Amino acid sequence: MRGIYIHIPFCHQICHYCDFNKVFFENQPVDEYIETINKELTLLKQSGTDFTKVETVFFGGGTPTALTAKQLDRLLEIVHSHVNVDSLSEFSTEANPDELTQDKLDVLKNGQVKRLSLGVQSFDEELLKKIGRSHSPEQAIDVVNNARRTGFDNISIDLIYALPGQSQTQWKDTLDQAMALELPHYSGYSLIIEPKTVFYNLMNKGRLPLPGEDEETMMFDELINRMERAGRTQYEISNFAIPGKESIHNMIYWENDEYAGIGAGAHGYLNGVRYANIAPLKRYMEHVETAQLPRIEENTVTPQERMEEEMFLGLRKTEGVSVKHFTEKFGVSLEEKYGAVINDLIRKDLVELQENRIRLTRNGIFKGNEAFQQFLG
């Protein structure tokens, strides 16, 4: 197990595009939930899971910074009791700009959190309101400056493009303001409309004016070009960083390695089994109280599935998939297993073979899903 993901499902405001497991913060058993996280980590250790090789811890949500400073402090205390934080390569948390107050920054810094991932999404005030965000562009800039003054130098922001009614001009302006912050890491995602979200319901009613496919492609192209000019290398389809500031935790996912998912609705991959935790808060907490891991779904990954995942996850990285590593990991050559598929994708200019690695071409980066699907049985 290389990483631990801890899910904090609480939010003060629900974003219109979000389909992650979340609940409104008010009137929820937040303190009890944090103690249940402690119990689940204990159960995982008792089940024989080795915590000594953990490289990363990541707080995600929901919104981890929806917690009070005192609650964050207790959560960090729990992590320190289970993990040798001094040996971690990375300790990260997601955060909302309007919730990351100075007292919370101090708690995170004292708790040895090293990396902040800020959900900025846009620097356009009108678009922020449209997508259900509660912060302003000014708050996003202020929190970056405050974090730096507190001693954080590994800061990332998330941006979303192809938003309802978003123009090329608005997107370029957001990139202008984002790049002016000169951060070491940026993530840029195209909006995906997921079921059971506000945007999904609006789309079904014909009330969601989304940019067309060509406009979306132009926005993605603008993102790549701007990052390249600023010296932020595209190391994964949606992620850009200066060398040494890549997200180590996310690389665990893309390298198809194992990690624990802790908390209500969290997903994990341990001992060759992908699993999902019980999502409803009360049911999750009640299950852990019975001294059982709160799994609602488990899938033992077959050798065929492992190879498929190795390809479609590994190809998300711009360095691609190592031919040598694939053979060592699975005991079969990449040529033998996927030679025909790879040759077809090369002909379509979706992948290329360079330096004994299979990776997406520039064209393939824009048509990644078309390439990934070819590796699925």
Query: Would 280 be classed as within a structural domain?
Result: no
Q: Is residue 279 part of a domain?
A: no
Please work out, in degrees rounded to the nearest 5, the angle formed at the alpha carbon of residue 114 by the alpha carbons of 3 and 99.
105
Domain boundary among 254, 278, 298: 254
Asked if residue 186 lies in contact with residue 159, where contact means CB atoms within 8 angstroms, the answer is yes
Residue 357 falls inside a structural domain: yes
Do 208 and 199 touch, CB atoms closer than 8 A?
yes
User: Three-class SS of residue 142?
Assistant: helix
Q: Say what the pTM is.
A: 0.96
- Report how far apart, in Å, the C-alpha atoms of 359 and of each of 175, 278, 334, 349, 371 are: 27, 36, 13, 11, 10
Contact between 235 and 319 under an 8 Å Cβ cutoff? The reply is: yes
CATH number at residue 83: 3.80.30.20
Distance CA 363, CA 306 (A): 26
- 35-79 pLDDT, tens digit per residue, is 999 999 999 999 999 999 999 999 999 999 999 999 999 999 999
Is position 86 within any domain? yes
Same domain, 122 and 31: yes
Q: Are residues 330 and 229 in the same domain?
A: no
Question: Do 221 and 89 sit in the same domain of this protein?
Answer: yes
Burial of 251 (0-12, 13-18, 19+ CB in 10 A): buried
- At position 299, the amino acid (one-letter code) is N
Residues 155 and 56 in one domain: yes
Last residue of a domain, one of 203, 219, 254: 254
Residue 364 placed within a domain: yes
- Same domain, yes or no: 207 and 65: yes
- Residues 238 and 358 occupy one common structural domain: no
Among the three residues 254, 274, 294, which one is the final residue of a domain in this structure?
Answer: 254
pLDDT digits (tens, 9 = 90+) for 122-178: 999 999 999 999 999 999 999 999 999 999 999 999 999 999 999 999 999 999 999
Same-domain status, 237 and 370 = no
Range of the domain at 28: 3-254
Does residue 343 sit within a domain? yes
Give the residue among 185, 248, 235, 292 at the shortest CA–CA distance from 3: 248
One domain for residues 345 and 219? no
Instruction: Clarify whether residues 194 and 335 are in a common domain.
Output: no
Residue 335 forms part of a structural domain: yes
CB 346 within 8 A of CB 352: yes
Q: Give yes or no: residues 240 and 329 share one domain.
A: no
What does the pLDDT profile of the chain (377 residues) look like in tens digits? 999 999 999 998 888 888 888 888 889 999 999 999 999 999 999 999 999 999 999 999 999 999 999 999 999 999 999 999 999 999 999 999 999 999 999 999 999 999 999 999 999 999 999 999 999 999 999 999 999 999 999 999 999 999 999 999 999 999 999 999 999 999 999 999 999 899 999 999 999 999 999 999 999 999 999 999 999 999 999 999 999 999 999 999 999 999 999 999 999 999 999 999 999 999 999 999 999 999 999 999 999 999 999 999 999 999 999 999 999 999 999 999 999 999 999 999 999 999 999 999 999 999 999 999 999 97
Tell whether 21 and 105 lie within a shared domain. Answer: yes
Q: How many domains is the chain partitioned into structurally?
A: 2
Residue type, 66: A
Residues 341 and 229 in one domain: no
Q: Is residue 303 part of a domain?
A: no
